[in-house]
Structure 1
């Protein structure tokens, strides 16, 4: 991926990245050249969008067909009370433009389905999935696998969360979530609740994994699931 040189304003904006050993100008240029899609602008998508925008991802796609409601604001921190009733994708764009006008935002306000997923994902280099149902998650994973796109996947429930990374030729989504698994087997956020800051922890970890994949820094969570127990303040890991 190639991108234009950093402007004077970008050099100041990303100064802490540019002096960071392992990131530097090369890493920042990789972020600027990247096209990243965030599926879902809710609890997990909100912090992921915020940190990817702040980090300088050159093109940030946001897909969500839902609207902002009052009950979202306890955890979906890029949306505001004034934005209630507004489309989440448009609300997210407003946040991003206010935070970092240097990047390009692409909005997708249609519902992602198995029939539309591949066409949407095809324009991006990397995908983050923060949706809350297995049907959509399977559609995203199948399209990412078919297109050979890395996928950062996060999930939360009540007090616990997890994040992992799928890449071409690595363990597959179906290895972690068997076809027999159903949304009927999983507790819904509406029914069981969710601790607000938990989504911030997992969503921020998703942004971290995306930045690592784009810049080549560190060891991504490929074939590994990082779990977080907020009540016990413990991180754990298992391989699959």
Structure 2
């Protein structure tokens, strides 16, 4: 009865039912990056009924985080983001099993640890970390949902497990680290909330079996003009990640 009441607005949807809610409750997600996008996506994942969420970040809460990372307050300054986030998210939904890793991930450090997860969420602001995540996901055959926000621009893309689909590195090989750095380029605070909440929406649809229209595509948002654009990502024949046979 408690679960019925908690998720009653979900059950009013014609596209939703108890089976989808139960399916979501059985899924395990690895969320890497608890900055603006990650800290906006995580509360919706937990409150919507995700069963298991592992949080990954190596950073501490700083004063410049507070305008856009609403999981944190002044009292949290200097504390590890993963510890603060885990405590606050657990209050949102005690039924969600939460874990945290305070570390900077690499393809090597992830290794076989990806095996237990159904979906990986890349919410980092570091190009090298994004490419490392994609390499690990492709090697372990795990779907990757990637999101970013910088300046007045946001983007979301989804890379399912498919030998015929492009990977993140097919798209990112022409990018530079500065293009993803809020430290260098800045970002308007509400933008990360827009991208974070849409990332959570796509993740929930994927995990509950509703699917995603973003497979192999890049969904771009221009916040200045409030315009969306969807681009097809081309699979590169010589990509260092997905052109290699598993």
Q: With the length of structure 1 as denominator, give the TM-score of the two structures.
A: 0.92
Cross-structure match for 1:182: 176
Q: How does 1:154-165 map to 2 (within 5 A)?
A: 154-165=147-158
Gaps of 5+ in 2: 234-246
Q: Which moved more, 1:57-66 or 1:185-194?
A: 185-194
SS of match in other structure, 2:15? coil
Cross-structure match for 2:189: 196
8 Å contact from structure 2 (residues 108, 136) kept in 1: no
8 Å contact from structure 1 (residues 38, 61) kept in 2: yes
8 Å contact from structure 1 (residues 118, 144) kept in 2: no
Cross-structure match for 1:212: 205
Supply the distance in 1 between the matched residues of 2:67 and 2:46 (Cα, whole angstroms). Answer: 21
Cross-structure match for 1:28: 21
Supply the distance in 2 between the matched residues of 1:209 and 1:132 (Cα, whole angstroms). Answer: 19
Cross-structure match for 2:134: 141
SS of match in other structure, 2:192? helix
> Number of residue pairs matched?
231
Residues 221 and 230 of structure 1, relative CA distance in 2, 3 Å threshold:
same
Residues 92 and 187 of structure 1, relative CA distance in 2, 3 Å threshold:
closer
Q: With the length of structure 2 as denominator, give the TM-score of the two structures.
A: 0.90
Cross-structure match for 1:94: 87
Of 229, 232, 236 in structure 2, the residue corresponding to residue 236 of structure 1 is 229
Residues 37 and 187 of structure 1, relative CA distance in 2, 3 Å threshold:
closer
1:218 Cα deviation after fit? 4.7
Gaps of 5+ in 1: 1-7
8 Å contact from structure 1 (residues 10, 102) kept in 2: no
Which 4+ stretches in 1 moved above 3 angstroms?
none
